[in-house]
Structure 1
Amino acid sequence: MRNALHAEWTKLRAGGGMVPLLLLAVVLTAAVSAGTAAAVRCPAPGCGEDDVRLSLSGIVVGQAVVAVAAVLTVTGEYATGMIHTTFTAVPRRLTAFTAKAAVLSAAVQAAATLAVLASLLAGRYVLPGNGFTAENGYAPLSLGDGPTLRAAVGSVLYLTLIALLSLGVATTVREGATAIGIVLGLLYLFPVVGQVVHDPDLQRLLQQLSPMSAGLAVQSTTDPDRLPIGPWEGLGVLTAWTGAALLAGGVVLRRRDV
């Protein structure tokens, strides 16, 4: 396993595409979060906005870049033929697959941590100028606050799970555009369908099953009883989607020739 991990880490650094994409994810997440924080106003007490979730809103956009980066770690090897070298160096395919997942997780966790901290920092300095003040019932954002810390840690885990979900899908289908389409469809299609469905019970069910809607419930810090699904339960739904994708990828990887 040590040699497999070293090989995957070397490929990640030398590939030239992963690091810029993860940096793009950090910048894009922080920029969208800052822009959202700058656009929302809280003119009076009880405005009903979740300042923590507002500050982390860029993750909805940044996750797409993370998904693309994760997909390319697999499909890029198939496109260049590097996958043959990988399996020659590490004949046990599940070992190679596990090593790739571990290295990808570490890289995404580092990028996600930077993105989350930058987003919360932007919210801390931008939101008070828009009425999110102590007078209106909002304390400055701080990781010392339990719900804020949970939202921050949960957001890092969320992006890591999105990367692993993308890895599993990419390993299953092997083709980049198809894998990206499947992952982005899973993430963004459920919320769109939920908006056009008029049955409130069906809407709630879709929100509970959606990888994105359920997973991002971990960011909510106000009125948890009104959520379609609890914060950690929602992250559990995303974990189930990710586990299914990785299981499918592992099974297919073992059964086909390459």
Structure 2
Amino acid sequence: MSTALAVVAPSLRTRRTGLRYLHAEWTKLRTAPETVWLVVGIVVATVAVSVLVAANMPCDTAVCGGDPTKTGLTGVQLGQALVAILAVFAVGGEYGTGMIHGTLAAMPRRAGVLAAKALVVTCVVAPAAAVAVTASALLGRHFLPGAAGLPAVLRATGGTVLYLLLIGLLAIGVTAIVRNAAAAVGVVLALLFLFPILAAAAPDPHWERHLLQIGPMTAGLAVQATTGLDKLPIGPWAGLGVTAAWAFGALLVGAVLLELRDA
């Protein structure tokens, strides 16, 4: 009996510690006034831009040789910036106010703190992303008839929601690395938009394709494509895997530096 208690007790303590960390991070994010506005902004900005683009297409994208589903999800390119800002705020806000010292004193398991922040941000972003992407896809289908079949549309929309969650995790990792909210926003936006700019400027088609394959945005948003998949620089799920590698790589580096550096 005593042996069983000795095995179970540490597990229960670990579970209680994890719940305490999650509760603390949820309370901080929930009570911040910026959180509500950013969540609303993710939905409004994504849907508004998607509808604006879809409603003003000069002709049916299916007839013009485009991809109606991907066109209807154009607003994600703006919505992802708000996702990144929300995630940066969850970490960088504490560095800006100095509250990080109190957080790490009360919760000394630093990797646990970062994991709790990542999970809480994911839980907040997930419903906003689901609503924004679903509404954009449905409205885009209204303005752009001739969209792909249901399986391809479900893959594009579901993959886009996952993409936005990965952008949030990427932003959390970057913020843990640079420890400054403004700098973190700049770094994340540069990672997202620099690769397509460099690809457009590349004189060699081989380098252009390679840049599009390794950029977190250009690779990840390949999951939105429903036509011409054989012509893409990278496949839909492989592209989402590239974004996941960026996100979890940033989280890993951020966790290591959080352990090694002073607050």
- C-alpha separation in 1, matches of 2:218 and 2:34: 29
- C-alpha separation in 2, matches of 1:224 and 1:56: 17
Over aligned residue pairs, what C-alpha RMSD do you find? 1.4
Q: Which residue of 143, 148, 155 maps to 2:153?
A: 148
Q: Tell me if the contact between 2:214 and 2:242 (Cα under 8 Å) persists in the aligned partners.
A: yes
Q: Tell me if the contact between 2:130 and 2:161 (Cα under 8 Å) persists in the aligned partners.
A: yes
The one-letter amino acid paired with 1:192 is I
- C-alpha separation in 1, matches of 2:53 and 2:239: 23
Aligned to 1:80: 97
Q: Which residue of 5, 8, 14 maps to 2:31?
A: 14
Q: Which residue of 157, 164, 170 maps to 1:159?
A: 164
| TM-score of the superposed pair, with normalisation by structure 1 | 0.92
Q: Tell me if the contact between 1:168 and 1:249 (Cα under 8 Å) persists in the aligned partners.
A: yes
Aligned to 1:176: 181
In terms of Rg, which structure is larger? 2
The one-letter amino acid paired with 2:217 is M
Aligned to 2:257: 252
The one-letter amino acid paired with 1:110 is P
Structure 1 unmatched runs, 5+: 133-137
Q: CA deviation at 1:169?
A: 0.4
Q: Tell me if the contact between 1:42 and 1:49 (Cα under 8 Å) persists in the aligned partners.
A: no
- 1:150-199 deviation digits (Å, cap 9, x = unpaired): 00110000000001000000011111111111110000010011111121
- C-alpha separation in 1, matches of 2:62 and 2:28: 52
Aligned to 2:5: none
- C-alpha separation in 2, matches of 1:54 and 1:27: 17
Q: Which residue of 112, 124, 130 maps to 1:95?
A: 112
Query: Does 2:255 align with 1:213?
Result: no
Q: Which residue of 221, 225, 234 maps to 1:229?
A: 234
- C-alpha separation in 2, matches of 1:234 and 1:94: 28
Aligned to 1:27: 44
Q: Which residue of 169, 185, 197 maps to 1:192?
A: 197
Alpha carbons of 1:16 and 1:47: their partners in 2 closer, same or farther (altered >3 Å)?
same
Corresponding pairs, count: 246
Q: CA deviation at 1:123?
A: 1.0
Q: Tell me if the contact between 2:87 and 2:171 (Cα under 8 Å) persists in the aligned partners.
A: yes
Query: Does 2:141 align with 1:124?
Result: yes
Q: CA deviation at 1:39?
A: 1.4
Q: Which residue of 59, 69, 73 maps to 1:52?
A: 69
